[in-house]
């Protein structure tokens, strides 16, 4: 049973490593800051979650001694809560600074919401 859990943990680590690698490649290939933030956030969140779940499963045999499983779960919850919020704040800040969208971007929902008075336009300070 212990070896099976460790093997599953190693598979989760491989999936997490692959996801983090694709995040790095995506950061280099995306055309503008908005796509880079989105790609980096989604892939790094998945990569970190898979890595921490894999590490928790690999340390499952020693959970009574060190309580690592609980620590990894706290990290997973922290990442799930903070990564989307931080990427949202970064994108809104970039939009407020009027960093241009890529020429390939066809839809700008934030501009539509501002034009429809759903949101206020960012103020220059």
31 lies in some domain? yes
Let me know if residue 52 belongs to a domain.
yes
Is 103 inside any structural domain? yes
Q: For 4-62, write each residue's pLDDT tens digit.
A: 888 999 999 999 999 999 999 988 998 888 888 988 899 889 999 999 889 888 877 66
Whether 125 is covered by a domain: the verdict is: no
What pLDDT does 11 receive? Answer: 96
Dihedral sign computed on CA atoms, order 11, 16, 20, 26: positive
Q: Is 59 a domain residue?
A: yes
- Say if 105 falls within a structural domain: yes
Residue 30's domain comprises 2-115
In a domain, 28, yes or no: yes
CA–CA distance from 123 to each of 96, 119, 120 (Å)? 8, 12, 9
In the chain, how many domains are there? 1
Q: Based on the number of CB atoms within 10 Å of its own CB, is 34 exposed (0-12), middle (13-18) or buried (19 or more)?
A: buried
Examine the pLDDT at 111 and tell me if it is beyond 90: no
Residue range 48-93, pLDDT digits in tens: 999 988 988 887 766 555 677 778 888 889 999 999 999 989 988 8
């Amino acid at each position: 049973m212990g070896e099976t859990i460790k093997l599953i943990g190693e598979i989760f680590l491989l999936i997490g490593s692959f996801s983090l690698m694709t995040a790095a490649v995506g950061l280099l290939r995306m055309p503008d800051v908005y796509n880079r933030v989105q790609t980096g956030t989604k892939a790094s969140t998945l990569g970190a979650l898979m890595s921490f779940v894999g590490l928790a499963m690999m340390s499952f045999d020693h959970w009574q001694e060190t309580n690592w499983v609980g620590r990894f779960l706290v990290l997973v919850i922290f990442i799930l809560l903070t990564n989307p919020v931080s990427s949202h704040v970064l994108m809104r800040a970039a939009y407020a600074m009027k960093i241009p969208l890529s020429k390939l971007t066809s839809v700008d929902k934030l501009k539509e919401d501002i034009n429809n008075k759903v949101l206020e336009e960012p103020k220059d300070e």
